[in-house]
Each structure stands twice: as C-alpha cells, then as structure tokens.
Amino acid sequence: MMKRTPLLLMSTALAGLAGAAQATEELNALVWCDHTDPALIEPFEAKFDVKVNLREYEGTGAALALLEQSRPGDWDVLVVDGIDVFRAVEAGILAPLPAADLPEADFFPEVVMEANNTVDGTPYAVTEKFGYNTISYNADKVDAADMQDLGKVWSDKYSGKISIYDYYLPVIGLAAMADGIKTTDITAADLPALGETLGKMRSAAASVAGVVAAQTALATGEVDIVVGGGEWLTAVLEGEQPNLTWTIPDQGAVMWSQSIGVLADSEQPDLALEFVKYIVSPEGQARLATSSCFWGMPANKLAGDHLTPDQKETLRWDSQPEYLAKAQLYPAPDADLDIEMQDLWLETLQQ
Amino acid sequence: MTLSRDTLRGWGFAAPALLWTLAFFVVPFVVMGAMSLATMEGRTLIWGLHLDNYAALAQKKYLWRAIIVSLEITLTVTVVSVLLAYPLAWIIAFRVPKRWQRLVLLLSILPFWTSYVVRSYAWLLVLAREGVVNKAMIWLGMIAEPVTLANTRFATVTGFVHFFVMLLVLTIYANLIQLPPNYRRAAMDLGASAFQTFRHVILPLTLPGIMTGAFLTFVLCIGDYITPQILGGNTELTVPQVIMVQLGRRADFPLAAALALVLMGIVTLAYLAFARWLRLDRI
Amino acid sequence: MRVLSVAYLIAAFVFIYLPVGALVLFSFQSGSLPVPPFDGPSLQWYAAILSDGDLMRALLHSLLVALCSSAVAVSLGFGAAYGLARHALPGSALVRGLLIAPMTVSYLIIGLGLLIVVQRLGLGLSLVTAGVGHVVINLPLCFAIIYASMGAQQQNAERAARDLGADEARVVLLITVPMLMPAIAAAFFLSVTLSWDEFIISFLLTRFDVTLPVEIWSMLRSGLSPELNAIGSLVFLVSVAIVVLLETTLLKGRK
C-alpha cells in the first residue's frame, strides 16, 4: 500500500496538470527559437486568452516530415525558411493567406519576396524577419580591411582563429560567392569545386559551431572570426564587447529570411491567422527583431517606430539599402541537390 | 503439461515487467530493424528489403569515419577513466581513515548531480582560452600563450572522463572494500612486495568490478550525443551526432535506424569481449 | 596517509570540482556573458530563472516524470525480482537476460526505437511517452538491485508468515517489501536521479511539455547567458541538499 499510494497521487497530479493545460484554447506552432521569447508571445496570449505551444525544429526536411505525419489539428502555424515555402506548399501543408490582411505595403520591398511566398498567384506565407549570413569578427584582433575579402578571411593569416557556423546552406552560399558563383545558380556540377573551397575553410577553422558555441568562442577569444555569422550572432554580445562586430564583404553575403504561414490542417485557422497578423504587425515585428534567441531585421519597416535608436543602430537599420543591394539569396536546392549538399557538408566536417 | 500453481504465481509477478520490456523495448527494436531496411524517396518512406542504408555506410566516407571517431573516443575515455579512477578508489578504500571514507566517496561523486547538459557546457568555460586551465598552465610556466582546448577532441574526452571517473570510483571502491583484508596481509606475510600483492592478488580479485564499470562506460560513452556535440567543436562527428543530423535535418529515419543498429552491433561486440568478467545482474 | 596519496586525492578533487566551480562562480556574474573575467557577484540571473515560467514548468515536469517513471520501474522490477527469486520458473535465465538487456543498449537507440513506433502508430508525443522510455531504462537497474538483495533471510520470514496463514499479497506487502526496503529505496533513488537528468529520450519523445534537460538544451542552443549557470547551480545545490539529507537520515546504516 505504501508504495502504491504516492504512485496514485502522482498520476492524478499528472492528469490534473494535463487537464489544466487543456482548459484554455491552444495554438500549436512549429517555429524557430526566436519565437519562444515570452516577450514576443505573452502579449498575444493575453490579448486572445490562448496558450501558444511552441516547438523548435532544426531542418526544413525534418519539419515537413513531422507535419506530413501529424494528425489534423496537431499544428496551426509554421515558421519556415523563406526559400522552403514552396516545398511546404508542394507538400500541401500550408493554407492560402488572405493578401488583404498582410501589411506587405509597409515592408522593405526587397523582402516581400513574392517568388518565395506566392505559388501561382496565391500567397501561402509572409516574410517576417531577415538578416545576413556573413562575417562576424573581433575588431581588436583582425584587420577590418581583410574582412572585406572572403578569400582573405579563411587564408593562412587567420588559420585556427576561425569558427564556421554549423549550417550547410549559408556556408555553401558563402563559398559559392567566394568562387564567383551566384547562390541561385549552384548546381550539382559546382559541388566538387565548392567542396574544395569548403575544405580550405574547414582546415583554417578551429571549430564548426552552433549559435551558442560560436558566441562563446568569439566572446572568450577562442576564435576571432565566425564565417556565416552576422547581426543575429553578435547583436547580443555587442553591449558587453563592442569590439565584436560584423560586416558584409565585397563579394556580398547570403541573405536569410524566414516566413510564417498557417497550416492547411489547422482546426483554428482564424486564430492562427491572427497570430500571423500579430507577428507581422509593427509591435510584433519589433519584438521579434530583438528576440532573446537571435536578432534580425524586421520585414515591416513600421517596426522602426517601436525600436530604440540603440536597437536600430545594432540592427544597422540605416545601412539596409546598401546591404540588400550586396546580398544574395539563400541557396535553394531541390530535394536531390539538397541531399548532395548535406552530404558534402558532412564530408567537409569529417575530412 | 499443466503448470503448477507456484509457477503460475511466479509468472504473475514477473509478467508486468516482462510485458513492458517486450512492448517498449523488444518491439521497437524489431520495428527499428525493419526501418533500417526501408528507404526514402524524397520524403516518402518505402518499406521493403532495401540495403541502401547499409551500402551508404560503405560508400559515404563521413559515415564510416564517424564509426572510427566514436570508437577512438570511447576507447580512450574508457582506458583513461579506469586508470584515473582506480588509484582514487584505492586511496579512498585503503588510505583514507574508515570514518571519513563515506564522506570522501560522497564528495568525489557529488558533481554527478549537476545537470548533465550544463556540466558539459561548464567544461567549455573551464577550457576556454581565458579559462582557468590555460591560466593555471601559464602561471606554472608550462605554456607561454593560451592554447586551444575547448571545441576539440581533447575537450570531448575530458568531459567524458570527468563523468566516468565518478561512476568508476563508485564501482571500483565497492569492489575493493569487499576484499578480505587478510588476503593482502597474507600475501605480504608470504613476502610479496606491494606491487606483487597488487598484481597477483588484488587486481585479479577486483577485475570483475573494473570490467563491469568499464563496460558501462563503453556503452554510455559510445551512445552519448550531448558531450561531443557541446564540447567537440563539430570538426569531427561521432555516430550519435550523425544519427541526430539525419533525424533533425532530413528526417531520414531508415538511415538513422541503420546507424543505430551498427552502434548496437559495436556494443554487442564489446559485450562479448567483456563477457567473461561481467555480472550485470549483480551490480 | 602518505604524501603521494594526499596529492592524488587533491588533484582528483580539483579535476572533479573544476567545472562545478566555474559553473557556480559565473552564475553570480553581473554582466550578461558567463565568460572571464568575473565581474560579480550578482543574484540577477537567479531572479531571472525563478521568474522564467517555461523553465519552472520544465522543472516540475522533470520531477513528475522522474517520480512516476521510477515508481513504475521499481514496482515492475520488484515484481519480476520476486517472481524469479521465489518461484522456480522454466527459462528464468532467459527472462533475466531479457530484463537486463536494455542496460546494454544506448539511450539514443531506445529513444529512437520508441519514437519510430509512436510515430507509426500515429500516437502523440508527450511527457507520458518520455516516462515510458525512462521506465525502459530504469527497469533493468531496479530489477538487478532488488533481485540481488533477495536472500534466504527474507524467504524464511515469508515462509513463517505463510505457515501462519497469510495469503500471498500479505506476505509480499507485510514481509517482503519492508524487509527489502533499503534495496527498494536505493533502486527508486537511483531511478529518480537517472530519469531526472536524462536528455536524449526526453528530447526525442516529448512535444510541447518538455523536461528540464531538454529546456536547458534549447536555452543552450539559443544564446549564451549566465542563466544557464544559474539553473545548473540551482539544480546542483538542491540535488546535493537532497543527497546529503538522504545520506544522513534514510540511508544511514546501510553499508
């Protein structure tokens, strides 16, 4: 008896907890980590008296597989790489969005990206945030002029003082730019040459790092350069260590963008749409831009009214026209090329 | 044949555990076996008897390289951990006064109760260029400039060894104190040197404990994702890391399942190698 | 104690406490980066984690999963140990082998197998699925610990009770369980410890409600912060308090 009673009590407690969670309305969103900041989510939860359940994911392929296997109603909102929206649409996962509800007229025109978000004239997603995968560096330790040339960044001069951001697409994009290939034109035939550039990059690198590892490495002086970094990496460090900064080299940088959409299987499409509208509203955009996980430029220009001058300075608000002109899009491989790129990436790591 | 009441009753007690193990361990294992023979076409899973995933192991360098990296790290960790833990357990068992033993033992495994994830991350801070290890080595004059320790295989091994030394001190100590003190005395009386006593009396008697601990170290180390992922700098990937990449970026369950079974095969080989000393149902 | 022994003991303790020391020290950092130089002390990061709803919920989830899954694992493990030790069962060596088998399999593999099955069956992931996985890994330990402590001593007492007319249930609950309490408590405590800190199974088998290690992992993936140090230190201090409490009260007198 002694043993069973606590067990019984605990299962009751667990059931009670589950019950309590189901009491209010819930919205289930599959997102990137910047959406998990309470400062972003709580105002929406309060306004609509809803609990927003968030789950982070790593790669689009895995997210799509998860969504295809889930039951109707499991998920309501998806945040996805801008370049992958079409894959989600092809898989029949996203529902059309009413264009009239989207404030795209207030967006930076370069990031509306109809080509990404619209299929056959129907919008399925909307850009919410963007930024650059470029070069972050420690201005006290490296020559800023060298950072303007990708070839010099991973030259012998900085060998062992480099960390590479651990995501294959932007880094392959940067390698392509260094080789003079446009990111949108990468084909399977380019991969051997790109592999060599990646190999050079990798042999100069002390580590290949995720967000925190790269931040730690920069902040502790482990490395002086992060290839693939950018405002999203160094913005949170700048306050303490202003010498940690970033630039866009002459060859350009890879522009990342994330889009948000409503799932076709959602059982509360209206609430899901409200969430999307909140995220692209000026207030939502300002909170998303400065979210605790990573910073990035808001797609909606009106978010500027809700950001402090310091925040805008960190985001390099005023330099955006110049940066956007220099940036190239994320490589957008089809399924086969994508697998080849991932294999190339893993081969590079394991060399 | 009719079963006796006694046998039936015995099964009645054992059945829940047995059914649980069958349903949540054996069945998933079989399904995983079937999964490893499936293949992916785009994101569509195709069941069947495909050997693509096992062929990929032979063809893709990064996959078999991962197996080698895993083996190298695990063997290093197992050997180093045993070599460091044995003297510690020895000192606690035979040099520390009896009434302090429990306290010293408890103190030596206390960090076991820091969160596993956080502990790995803490090593990142310790091994940083500005970290305490570099500072200490410079102060001692061992090096002139800070050296890179974090984000290397050294860091992974250090993080692992830290954890397993704690585990092994416990198992080896438990073994040492069970030795009848007379054995040591008898050996000494018969004129054996301290080393000879150790070599011919104590070591053979404590070998089963060491081997059980070493085997647990091997199993836990080779299957761990956190430590190499946080400390290793991703410049080389272990099998669990490659499995997690397959799951996280591609949802390629068949390849992940095949890799998991390969890992399982390695552990089975290790089990056979350790088998003569193991008493897993008596730990 | 000889000099060499003392030196080794000190060196070993420095090694063992190095990461814990760094962790705790930088949890009092006053700047927002937990990297040298130390510029504290400050308690702001403790305040931050205590007011972090997600983190505190995850802590509660971990506690629930650990206690529930350990209770199940101990109950099942005790049943199996009793059945196998007290009743002559055909094929009992095989059964023992099967029950111990999960101990030789990596957590990642157990988690992956369960994940595949749960997905194929179209069931949802939750704390319950993570708990099921934790029972799988803890059942062998509970079984082994309790089975090893079942000796002739209890058997005589059980026989005596049976001769006096007690039925099987009474024998088990009034004789066997109390006599084996130290082993049962040790098994339960070990299970709770392992489940509480288990990462990979919880990571693969949960969805929105996550356990503490999974929440810490996502914090770790999303930005460098002394909050990580603070939660790590807090968990450490609380666990140590519990361990010391158990050591000085409950487990006192056990060998």
**What's the pLDDT band for C251 if we cut at 50, 70, 90?**
low
Q: Do A211 and C127 touch (CB under 8 A)?
A: no
User: How many angstroms separate the most distant Cα atoms in chain C?
Assistant: 72
Q: Which residues contact B268 (CB under 8 A, 6 or more apart)?
A: C104
Matching fold, domains A23-130+257-319 and A131-255+328-349: yes
Mean pLDDT for the stretch of residues A62-71: 85
| pLDDT for the residue numbered C74 | 96
Task: Mutation target for A interface from B133, B135, B151, B153: give the one with most A CBs within 10 A.
Answer: B151
Asked whether the predicted pLDDT for residue A100 surpasses 60, the reply is yes
Q: Spell out which residues of chain A touch residue C32, defining contact as CB-CB under 8 Å.
A: 236, 239-240
Shortest Cα distance, chain C CAs vs residue B59, angstroms: 23
Nearest CA in chain C to A17: C61
Q: Count of A–B CB contacts within 8 Å?
A: 97
Nearest to B235 among A62, A346, A349 (CB): A349
Contact between A206 and B124 using a beta-carbon 8 Å cutoff: no
Contact B260 C132 (CB under 8 A): no
In this complex, the residue of C8, C16, C116 whose CB is nearest that of residue B32 is C116
- Residue among B14, B116, B280 whose CB faces C89 most closely: B14
Cβ pair B252, B40 in contact under 8 A: yes
Q: Are A252 and A102 in contact (CB under 8 A)?
A: no
Beta bridge partners of A54: A29
Quick one: pLDDT band at residue A16, thresholds 50, 70, 90? very low
Residue C236 near residue B115, CB atoms below 8 Å: yes
d(CA B39, CA A15): 39
Written as six digits, the tokens of C88 are 């002559």
CB contact under 8 A, B66 and A202: no
* pLDDT band (50, 70, 90) for residue B280: low
- For A23-130+257-319, CATH number out of 3.10.150.10, 1.10.10.10, 3.40.190.10, 2.60.120.260 equals 3.40.190.10
- Is the pLDDT reported for residue C173 higher than 90? no
**Mean pLDDT for the stretch of residues A61-87:** 88
Q: What are A44's two structure tokens?
A: 């929406």
Between strands A162-165 and A205-209, the pairing is parallel
The CA-based angle A118-A121-A127, given to 5 degrees, is 25
Query: Which DSSP letter does residue A71 get?
Result: P
At residue A23, does pLDDT exceed 70?
A: no
What domains lie within chain C, and their CATH numbers?
1-45+225-255 (no CATH), 53-224 (1.10.3720.10)
Of the residues C224, C225, C227, C229, the best mutation for testing chain A's interface (the one with the most A CB atoms within 10 Å of its CB) is C224
**Chain C residues with beta carbon closer than 8 angstroms to that of B116:** 197, 199, 213
Residue A262 has pLDDT above 90, yes or no: yes
Nearest to C202 by CA among C188, C187, C183, C216: C216
Q: Would you state the CATH architecture of domain B26-282?
A: Orthogonal Bundle (1.10)
Interface mutation target, options A346, A347, A348, chain B, most CBs of B under 10 Å: A346
Evaluate if residue A215 carries a pLDDT over 70. yes
Q: What are the pLDDT digits (tens) for C221-241? A: 877 788 889 999 998 988 888
Spatial CA neighbour of A124 closest among A166, A165, A163, A84: A84
pLDDT of residue A237: 83
Per the CB < 8 Å rule, is A215 touching C74? no
On the question of pLDDT at B283 being above 60, the answer is: no
Q: Do A62 and B148 touch (CB under 8 A)?
A: no
| C7 has a pLDDT exceeding 50 | yes
**Share in percent of chain B as helix, strand, coil (round to 5):** 75, 0, 20
- Touching check for B40 and chain C: CB below 8 Å? no
Query: What confidence tier does A3 reach under pLDDT thresholds 50, 70, 90?
Result: very low
Residue B198: the pLDDT is 80
Question: Which pLDDT belongs to residue A197?
Answer: 94
Q: Which CATH architecture has domain A131-255+328-349?
A: 3-Layer(aba) Sandwich (3.40)
Query: Taking the model in full, what pTM does it have?
Result: 0.88
Q: How does residue C89 score in pLDDT terms, banded at 50, 70 and 90?
A: confident
Q: How far is C192 from chain A (nearest CA, A)?
A: 13
C165 touches chain A (CB under 8 A): no
Residue C218 near residue A36, CB atoms below 8 Å: yes
Q: Does C74 touch chain A (CB under 8 A)?
A: yes
Q: Does C198 touch chain A (CB under 8 A)?
A: no
**How many A×C Cβ pairs under 8 Å?**
85
DSSP states along C113-130: HHHHHHHHTTPPP-HHHH
What pLDDT score was predicted for residue B46? Answer: 86
- The domains of chain A are located at 23-130+257-319, 131-255+328-349
Residue B31: pLDDT over 80: yes
Taking the C-alpha atoms of C198, B84, A207 and B72 in order, what is their torsion angle to the nearest 10 degrees?
-90
Q: Answer yes or no: is pLDDT of A277 > 90.
A: yes
Q: What is the pLDDT of residue C252?
A: 55
How large is the average pLDDT for residues B69-80?
96
Torsion of CA B176, B181, B182, B187, to 10 degrees: 60
The CA angle B199-B205-B211, to the nearest 5 degrees, is 95
- C105 CA to chain A: closest CA distance, Å? 25
Closest CB to A211: pick one of C36, C119, C223: C223
Domain boundaries along the sequence of chain B = 26-282
Region A116-137 average pLDDT: 93
> If pLDDT is split at 50, 70 and 90, which confidence band does C1 have?
low
Model confidence at C142, pLDDT cuts 50, 70, 90, reads very high
Band of the pLDDT at B249, cuts 50, 70, 90?
confident
Q: What is the DSSP letter of A87?
A: H
Give residues 182 to 211 of B whose Cβ lies within 8 Å of C. Answer: none
Q: What is the pLDDT of residue B43?
A: 75
Cα angle B106, B112, B118; round to 5:
150
The CA distances from residue B274 to B81, B200, B223, in Å, are 16, 20, 17
Q: Which residue of C has its CA nearest to B254?
A: C116
Give the Cα separation of B264 and B262 in Å (integer): 5
Contacts of C221 in chain A (CB under 8 A): 33, 56, 210-212
Please give the structure tokens belonging to residue A138.
């420690």
For residue A25, which phi and psi values (nearest 5 degrees)? -70, 150
Q: How far is CA C20 from the centre of its chain?
A: 20
Minimal-distance CA residue of chain A relative to B230: A213
pLDDT at C133: 96
At residue A255, what is the residue type?
Answer: M
Contact yes or no for A97/A276 (Cβ under 8 A) = yes
CB contact under 8 A, C23 and B119: yes
**Which of A166-170, A344-348, B139-143, B274-278 comes out lowest in average pLDDT?**
B274-278
Residues B139 and C21: their CA atoms lie apart, in Å, by: 19
- The region that residue A180 occupies, defined by phi over 0 for left and psi between -120 and 50 for alpha, beta otherwise, is left
Query: Residue B266's closest chain C neighbor by CA?
Result: C105
Interface test with B, best of C38, C106, C238 (most B CBs within 10 A): C106
Using a CB-CB distance cutoff of 8 angstroms, which residues of chain B are in contact with residue C8? 87-88, 91
Q: Which residues of chain C does B17 touch, with a Cβ-Cβ cutoff of 8 Å?
A: 76-77, 79-80, 99, 139, 143
Q: What is the mean pLDDT of residues B167-181?
A: 86
A22 has pLDDT over 50: no
Quick check: C12 and B108 in contact, CB under 8 A? yes
Task: Write out pLDDT tens, residues B88-130.
Answer: 999 998 888 888 888 899 889 888 888 889 999 899 888 888 8
For residue A19, the model assigns a pLDDT of: 43
| Least reliable range by pLDDT among A77-86, A224-233, B5-14, B113-122 | B5-14
Residue C187: which of C109, C59, C98, C80 has the closest Cα?
Answer: C80
Residue C41: is the preceding peptide bond cis (ω within 30°)?
Answer: yes
What DSSP element (H or E) covers A259?
A: strand A254-262
B184-B186-B190-B194 Cα dihedral, nearest 10 degrees: 10
B132 in C contact zone (CB under 8 Å): yes
| Residue C61 to residues A137, B226, C139, Cα–Cα distance (Å) | 40, 21, 20
| A29 has a pLDDT exceeding 90 | yes
What is the DSSP code (8-state) at residue A104? G
